[in-house]
Structure 1
Amino acid sequence: MTTIPVIDFQLHAVGKEGCVELDNLGSEMCQALEGIGFCYLKNHGISEEIINEAFRSSKDFFSQPVNEKEKFARSHNYNFGWVGLEVEKLNPERPVGDYKEAWNITLEDHSLEWPSEKVPNFKPSMQKLYEMCTDLSKRIFDVISVGLKLDVMNCEDQYVPATPIPGTIVVNIGDLMQRWTADKLKATKHRVLNPSNEQQRRQNRQSMAFFVHPDDKLMIECLDKSNKYEPISSIDYLNSRFKATY
């Protein structure tokens, strides 16, 4: 594949009720995730209003001075809170950390502190989007489970632009899912580049990522029983990734 497919998710969108035939949708989605590891979803059911409000409140938070954001810095005990510039290192080939800031949210964040005084809408807008993404992710797994086959299809070693398409959500497979499916679904290497245009380089860019991970105690074993990868608990795998990142 040289382009990222756009998949119409209307049949199983957030808010849809009842059982529907998902065979065609499952095949279409798995074909994309086997061939390139990415797809766009349109008609996914999360309103633009909810997404835009989350982006607005996010911008309000990150526009604050560093000394204000530092009050809510991520601790080593929870994957929650503000992450400063060059704290995360997601590319082991680079000698320095990532030039970005982040705000991490987890399921156990209910007792942790949000910047409610300075950015009152940050918590409710993020939690609303989190709930919607949780619902959507479960529906995505419904579709993948229907379409999953056991023949392996290799990816080409080239980068394909993932240009934002209004109204869509980009879905890609992570390393653990590739391991779980014995390399059937692809965790395609991806990157974020600085713009070549000087004016664009001076502008802030925003993105929101929703990571889906199994329950901590679940043992991840190859679904095709091939034992291509050794079994590992979900939490042990996650902790190994945190160790490499921080």
Structure 2
Amino acid sequence: MLSFRHLAQPTTRWMLTASRRGPLSRTRRARQSEKCTFATVAEDAFRIPIIDFSKYRNASNAAEKEQTAKEVVRGFTDVGFIYLSNHGIPQETVQQVFQKSAEFFSMSNEKKTALAWRDPRANRGFVQVGRERVTQSADAEEIKELREKAPDYKESMEIGRDWDKTYRNYWPEEQDAPGFKRTMTSFFQTCHDLHVLVMRSIALGLRLEESFFDGKIHEQYHNLRLLSYPPIKTELLRGDGQARAGAHSDYGTLTLLFQDSVGGLEVQNPHTGQYQPATPIPGTIVINAGDLLARWSNDVLRSTLHRVVAPPARAINEREGMTPARQSIAFFCNPNQGAEIACLPTCLVPGGQPRYPPVTTEEYIVGRLKATYM
């Protein structure tokens, strides 16, 4: 069982006892003057909160920032996911990225495979349908078997920081995808800037200095993933373990997910093991905590399992249907490449021991990518 208490005074700590992602106690929140208690969300109240981030971005004083920071941390504590509204990224910008992404995936397979993903240390390039099999397993042979039995029915384009001196991005020729590179490099920076603000709110919510994470994420060691889920016959999704993207948690600190209107993302309720939809809400970004943020916070912040399933299909005959195409854009936020991820001082019981040994960002993420793709 997991429970934790957070007092408002800066000198107090999170009180935590836990089994990794195990069943959680019922929600109990009490506010007495300056004391605020966080416990886990009840089974029948498991829902992704919508948080108005303008209250943090436009706050006129520290108290206003802290209020939103508490909401953000509570969302990641209870569910591991939040919807962020009024986040500051214009909808026109998001629509432009979706358009350029669609234009890229409409290119010929020959031109896309010329940009193929090659190296987990780089994590850049085009990934064809069936190449990746996301899962919680870290065993390469087990993942290989899963990939052969139940591949993920999606294709993606992976983009990193474009100024990296060691690993380069694979860009299509300008005539094949006009404006693609310019749009994606600009959006990469836009997403990083929002990531910095959300991490500052998390720092405040964990009773750290607001700038605590700034020097640990400034290298922009991130990954922008464009995702295309082609239409597929329902027959191909009926097998055991089949999905458009299998159940998994993400690797880094945060994931910013931009969805189209089709839907399909589902989040697991850790109390029941059941999945429920993360229905697209116009104008919002779905943000979830990843494994490294969970490790950093000693599991105070939850890295929740999620998957992508097929939305309702259009019947093409009495026994068969066709699912619609789906697009999404994920910005995987990571700490600096060599950053050491060790238990934060405010997330440890006095006299207690961290749940995880220190690990660097590169060690953890490259290890997971090697097992996932190779």
Q: Root-mean-square deviation (CA), in Å?
A: 2.3
Superimposed CA distance per residue, residues 2-38 of structure 1 (whole angstroms, 9 cap, x where no aligned partner): 221100001344xx69875411001111111100100
Consecutive unaligned residues of structure 2, counting only runs of 5 or more, are 1-44, 138-142, 208-268, 316-320
CA distance in 2: counterparts of 1:198 and 1:90, whole angstroms: 26
1:112, CA displacement in angstroms? Answer: 3.6
Q: 2:66 aligns with which of 23, 26, 36?
A: 23
Map 1:123-202 to 2 at 5 A.
Answer: 123-148=181-206, 155-156=270-271, 157-198=273-314, 201-202=322-323
Structure 1, 39-48 or 200-209: larger mean CA deviation: 200-209
1:113, CA displacement in angstroms? Answer: 3.8
CA distance in 2: counterparts of 1:235 and 1:18, whole angstroms: 38
Structure 1, 174-183 or 102-111: larger mean CA deviation: 102-111
Structure 1: which amino acid aligns with 2:125?
G
CA distance in 2: counterparts of 1:98 and 1:218, whole angstroms: 31
2:129 matched residue in structure 1: 85
Superimposed CA distance per residue, residues 107-166 of structure 1 (whole angstroms, 9 cap, x where no aligned partner): 1466544112211121111112111100000000010111127xxxx9423323100100
Q: 1:220 aligns with which of 341, 353, 363?
A: 341
Identity %: 37
CA distance in 2: counterparts of 1:109 and 1:83, whole angstroms: 22
Structure 1, 112-121 or 171-180: larger mean CA deviation: 112-121
Structure 1, 206-215 or 94-103: larger mean CA deviation: 94-103
Count of residue pairs the alignment pairs up: 241
Q: 2:107 aligns with which of 52, 64, 83?
A: 64
Q: 2:80 aligns with which of 37, 46, 56?
A: 37
2:157 matches 1:103: yes
Structure 1: which amino acid aligns with 2:205?
G
CA distance in 2: counterparts of 1:186 and 1:57, whole angstroms: 33
User: Residue 210 of structure 1 aligns to a residue in which SS?
Assistant: strand
CA distance in 2: counterparts of 1:202 and 1:35, whole angstroms: 32
1:134–1:17 CA distance, 2 compared to 1 (3 A): farther
User: Residue 206 of structure 1 aligns to a residue in which SS?
Assistant: strand
2:326 matches 1:205: yes
1:196, CA displacement in angstroms? Answer: 3.6
CA distance in 1: counterparts of 2:47 and 2:60, whole angstroms: 33
1:244, CA displacement in angstroms? Answer: 1.8
Superimposed CA distance per residue, residues 89-109 of structure 1 (whole angstroms, 9 cap, x where no aligned partner): 112474443211001011146
Structure 1, 35-44 or 4-13: larger mean CA deviation: 4-13
User: TM-score by structure 1 length?
Assistant: 0.89
Structure 1, 89-98 or 126-135: larger mean CA deviation: 89-98
1:121 matched residue in structure 2: 179
Superimposed CA distance per residue, residues 147-201 of structure 1 (whole angstroms, 9 cap, x where no aligned partner): 127xxxx942332310010000000011111111111011110010012423584
Contact 2:129 2:153 (8 Å CA) reproduced: yes
Structure 2: which amino acid aligns with 1:41?
L
CA distance in 1: counterparts of 2:201 and 2:152, whole angstroms: 33
Structure 1, 224-233 or 140-149: larger mean CA deviation: 224-233
2:34 matched residue in structure 1: none
Consecutive unaligned residues of structure 1, counting only runs of 5 or more, are none
1:17–1:127 CA distance, 2 compared to 1 (3 A): farther
Map 1:43-58 to 2 at 5 A.
Answer: 43-58=86-101
CA distance in 2: counterparts of 1:233 and 1:216, whole angstroms: 7
Higher normalized strand content (fraction of residues): 2
Structure 2: which amino acid aligns with 1:214?
P
Contact 1:54 1:129 (8 Å CA) reproduced: yes
Superimposed CA distance per residue, residues 174-233 of structure 1 (whole angstroms, 9 cap, x where no aligned partner): 111111111101111001001242358442110000111111211111113532111111
CA distance in 2: counterparts of 1:11 and 1:61, whole angstroms: 36
Structure 1, 110-119 or 41-50: larger mean CA deviation: 110-119
